[in-house]
């Protein structure tokens, strides 16, 4: 949960979440609208630069956080480039399945574009995730008219995650100290004990929370206060200008 820690401690913590959200949203749409792989790589660079130089996330840490989704992405793009129905670049023949694995020119193009778009979009998302805490994203969603019930469930769940993470860590450490993950068979049993325990705890925790709410005059509605943020004209203009430029470029640039 390193991302969450940075969301609370970065340099742009006090910036209005709407401004950061708008900037990330523009990055997302521009990445998706791009027709050539060049622009999304540019968007990725803009987003990485803003996150590292602007919000002050250490670059080593940023690379580490971006690495996992990128690897996952490469694996997915490999699936796009490969074709079983005969491409230009022949790779392997599997006689048992009567199939040939090959790379097709069009498939490679598709994979290249998907990789670029996805990278631009992922780094846009990472910008929002690293600069804005979940509670403020929830506040943003609330002001955008998300159903109240969904917001309430989100808030309850977000708080509980950290409670459970701590419990899960403790149980896991205790199990490991007793060689609970020594073999696959034992590991499955330990994991079932861990999950079963957390499930039971979560059920009784829910009951306790509900009683706690009732004791405090709960009237089937949870009320939240959002921290006050002021819109900054300068940030807003910057976000809209850069965002619109990227989107216009995405629509204009042809492969």
Question: Can residue 243 be called a binding residue for other proteins (CB under 8 A)?
Answer: no
In whole angstroms, give the CA distance from residue 126 to residue 128: 5
The answer to whether 101 and 91 have CB atoms below 8 angstroms apart is yes
Question: Can residue 107 be called a binding residue for other proteins (CB under 8 A)?
Answer: yes
Nearer to other proteins, 74 or 237 (CB): 74
Question: Can residue 249 be called a binding residue for other proteins (CB under 8 A)?
Answer: no
Nearer to other proteins, 11 or 159 (CB): 159
Q: Which two tokens stand for residue 234?
A: 């300068």
Site string for other proteins, 221-240 (x = CB under 8 A): --------------------
Q: Which two tokens stand for residue 118?
A: 């996805």
Question: Can residue 84 be called a binding residue for other proteins (CB under 8 A)?
Answer: yes
Window of 50-58, 79-87, 224-232, 234-242 that interacts with other proteins by CB under 8 A: 79-87
Nearer to other proteins, 16 or 247 (CB): 247
* Nearest-10 Cα torsion for 24, 27, 29, 30: 170
Window of 46-54, 184-192, 223-231, 240-248 that interacts with other proteins by CB under 8 A: 184-192
In whole angstroms, give the CA distance from residue 179 to residue 173: 10
Question: Can residue 72 be called a binding residue for other proteins (CB under 8 A)?
Answer: yes
In whole angstroms, give the CA distance from residue 137 to residue 127: 13
In whole angstroms, give the CA distance from residue 200 to residue 187: 20
- Size of the residue set binding other proteins (CB under 8 A): 82
Question: Can residue 121 be called a binding residue for other proteins (CB under 8 A)?
Answer: yes
- Using CB under 8 A as the binding rule, the residues of this chain from 15 to 34 that contact other proteins are 28, 31-33
Close Cβ partners of 31 (under 8 Å, ≥ 6 residues apart): 40, 43, 116, 117, 118, 120, 121, 124, 250
Q: Rounded to the nearest whole angstrom, what is the least distance from the CB of residue 71 to other proteins in the complex?
A: 11
């Amino acid at each position: 949960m390193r991302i969450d820690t940075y969301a609370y401690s970065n340099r742009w913590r006090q910036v209005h979440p709407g401004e950061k959200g708008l900037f990330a949203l523009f990055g997302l749409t521009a990445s998706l609208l791009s027709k050539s792989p060049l622009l999304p790589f540019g968007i990725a660079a803009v987003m990485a630069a803003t996150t590292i130089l602007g919000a002050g996330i250490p670059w080593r840490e940023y690379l580490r956080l971006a690495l996992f989704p990128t690897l996952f992405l490469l694996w997915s793009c490999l699936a796009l480039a490969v074709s079983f129905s005969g491409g230009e670049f022949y790779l392997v023949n599997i006689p048992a399945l009567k199939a040939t694995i090959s790379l097709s020119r069009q498939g490679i193009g598709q994979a290249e574009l998907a990789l670029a778009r996805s990278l631009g979009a992922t780094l846009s998302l990472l910008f929002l995730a690293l600069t804005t805490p979940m509670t403020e994203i929830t506040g943003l969603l609330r002001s955008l008219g998300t159903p109240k019930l969904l917001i309430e469930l989100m808030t309850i769940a977000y708080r509980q995650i950290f409670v459970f993470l701590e419990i899960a860590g403790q149980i896991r450490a205790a199990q490991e100290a007793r060689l609970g993950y020594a073999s696959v068979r034992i590991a499955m049993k330990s994991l079932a004990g861990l999950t079963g325990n957390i499930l039971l705890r979560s059920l009784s925790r829910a009951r306790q929370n509900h009683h706690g709410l009732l004791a405090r005059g709960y009237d089937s509605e949870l009320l939240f206060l959002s921290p006050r943020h002021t819109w900054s004209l300068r940030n807003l203009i910057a976000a809209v200008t850069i965002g619109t430029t990227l989107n216009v470029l995405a629509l204009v640039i042809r492969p």
